[in-house]
Chain A
Amino acid sequence: MADGASALAAAERQDRLEAWGGVALTVLSLAALWQGLHYLAGDSAIASLPATLRETWHLLSGPRYWPHFRETMSAFLWALLIAVTGGVGIGVALGGHRLSGEVAEPVLVALYSIPKVTLYPVVLLFFGIGLNAKIAFGALHGVIPVAIFAMNAVRNVNPTWLRTAATMNLGPLQTARHILVPATIPEIFSGLRIGLSLTLLGVMIGELFASQRGIGHLLMTSIEVHDVRRIMAVVLIVSVLAVTLNALMLAIDRRLHRRV
């Protein structure tokens, strides 16, 4: 018995080791690819890895660029808050009522796959240039996947569990606490993960066009002065941030799905 458990633990360790090895291999090959492209394309197109890292350190260490990062982060967090509350609200309402869900689903899917960037001028006209427009645009990107996932989560709750709850005379609050929430959380969380990535994307797109501050604005000013190192440093910061957030969410996601 104890042997079996330790063998299982050893196998799990082995798995984890292999997963980390895969990550390390991916990072190494990306670095190699980067450096190779640098040698091929030259300094004026792709900055070398060490130069980019130095520039990244320069951007992050001094207080000069922090306002940009703070602007993007606050826009991102507000947009995320709106996308999550709005998306879960819409999704739960549509999932709970069959006909409304059927009416709304194709509309949501269509909204998901249109180029939302074309709507950015409309957002700008309503909110004016500034933080609010970025928040609105980020939330617009994030709210739809969250709503779609939440709707499916509520729809897929096993009806037997609900009937059991009725048999046990659970009140609506008790049903929500003991049945609906635990049954839907894993699926809703998967939606949050995708919504988070898309919200960040929306905020960044918003900053690339008609913006005076933020990481996207930093990118656009760097391209105007053709500062390749800074462009690459900003891209690196954004990518590392996005991938780290995603990995974190994915780890929680897997744990939630395993528990059920």
Chain B
Amino acid sequence: MTKAAWIRLALLAAAIGGLEGACRAGWLPRTAIIPPTEMAAGGWRAVASGELNEDMAQTFSVVAIAIMVSLAGGFLVGFAIHGRPRLRRALDPFLGAYYAIPHFAFYPLLIVLFGLGPGPLIALAVMFGVVAMIVATMNGLDRVPRVLGKTAQVMRLTGTDELWRVRLPAALPHLFAGVKLAIAYSFIGVIAGEFILSTKGIGHAIAFAYDNFDARSMYGLILFVLLLVASVNLTLHTVEQRLIQRRSR
């Protein structure tokens, strides 16, 4: 581990320890925040007791569907637009402004359209994630060095062979940047939607605990979600680094 990583770890430990001490000493109001050890215990109890199994199953299946739709749809749409420069120029201002729109404003509309359930959550998460994948796909295909295409021509590869053996592998690290974003955005979209208005799911469980002044479950679940998403992101980051390294070799 580097020096910076050690310092980061030490600071993190100090922050958690400080929070624990401040809570135990009564410097922070107990109605607002509880000690981290109690958060961890609350989270462990909530997850281990099995009360949340249904909520977790709902959240994870919705996130998984949203990720798959975002990745497959984003790749196909990005690939299609990339081959049509005129269409791409017309869409450019739209794609550039897309992430300025607060998508959660659409959530009530999606509930009206799809009813309360997994439908609007999937739609919200896909709306959020798919455009990142579209943009990453187009950028990735843009950055395939032209010499690779020429080499493929010289070797008389057919269209599909050229795509599978040359273009896609060359674009892979850029595509992966889109994969990373689409996955993070799917989690954010689903959990935020559940939190705002839903009858099931981890996000709903957090809002439910908040409404019932159940600070232990609430902080426990928040901790659980944040640790889960942070570890997913860390894994993806490691894979991405490996992909970039492999290419520069």
Contact = CB atoms under 8 A, between A and B. Distances in A.
B196 interface: yes
A220 B111 CA distance: 11
A239 B102 CA distance: 7
A209 B207 contact: yes
B92 interface: yes
B91 interface: yes
Interface of B is mostly: helix
B195 interface: yes
Given A102-B4, A118-B203, A238 B96 contact: no
Contact of B191 (A118, A219, A222, A234): A118
Given A205-B104, A243-B97, A122 B222 contact: yes
B225 interface: yes
A19 interface: yes
Interface string A210-249: 0000011001101100101001101100110011011100
A19 B91 CA distance: 10
Contacts of A99: 3-4, 7
A197 B226 contact: no
B94 A26 contact: yes
Given A208-B104, A235-B105, A246-B100, A26 B229 contact: no
Interface in B201-234: 203, 206-207, 209-210, 215, 218-219, 221-222, 225-226, 229-230, 233-234
Given A25-B90, A46-B113, A126-B32, A115 B101 contact: no
Contacts of B109: 46, 228, 231-232, 235
Contact of A121 (B2, B93, B103, B218): B218
B108 A22 contact: no
A173 interface: no
Given A205-B196, A226-B112, A246 B97 contact: yes
A209 B198 CA distance: 12
Nearest to A102: B4
A169 interface: no
B108 A223 contact: yes
Classify chain B's interface size: 35 or more
A219 to B, nearest CB: 5
**Candidate in B3, B32, B90, B209 with the most chain A CB atoms within 10 angstroms:** B90
Contacts of B218: 121
Nearest to B91: A26
A32 B109 CA distance: 18
A87 to B, nearest CB: 17
A23 interface: yes
A63 interface: no
Interface in A188-208: 194, 197, 200-201, 204-205, 208
Interface in B157-195: 184, 187-188, 191-192, 195
Interface stretch (A6-14, A103-111, A174-182): A103-111
A205 B4 CA distance: 35
B11 interface: yes
Contact of B105 (A44, A116, A238): A238
Interface in B76-134: 89-94, 96-97, 99-109, 111-113
Contact of B192 (A117, A232, A246): A117
A59 interface: no
Contacts of B3: 99
A17 B12 CA distance: 53
A117 B191 contact: yes
A114 interface: yes
B112 A18 contact: no
A182 B26 CA distance: 47
B112 A45 contact: yes
B108 A222 contact: yes
15 contacts: A23-B93, A45-B113, A110-B234, A114-B230, A115-B187, A115-B203, A116-B188, A118-B203, A118-B226, A200-B102, A209-B195, A215-B105, A223-B111, A228-B112, A235-B109
Given A23-B93, A26-B93, 15 more contacts: A26-B90, A26-B91, A44-B112, A115-B191, A115-B192, A118-B225, A121-B210, A125-B215, A197-B100, A208-B196, A223-B108, A235-B109, A239-B101, A242-B97, A250-B96
10 nearest A-B residue pairs (beta carbon): A246-B100, A102-B4, A121-B210, A223-B108, A117-B192, A197-B100, A115-B188, A113-B184, A201-B102, A125-B32
Interface of B: 2-4, 7-8, 11-12, 31-33, 89-94, 96-97, 99-109, 111-113, 184, 187-188, 191-192, 195-197, 203, 206-207, 209-210, 215, 218-219, 221-222, 225-226, 229-230, 233-234
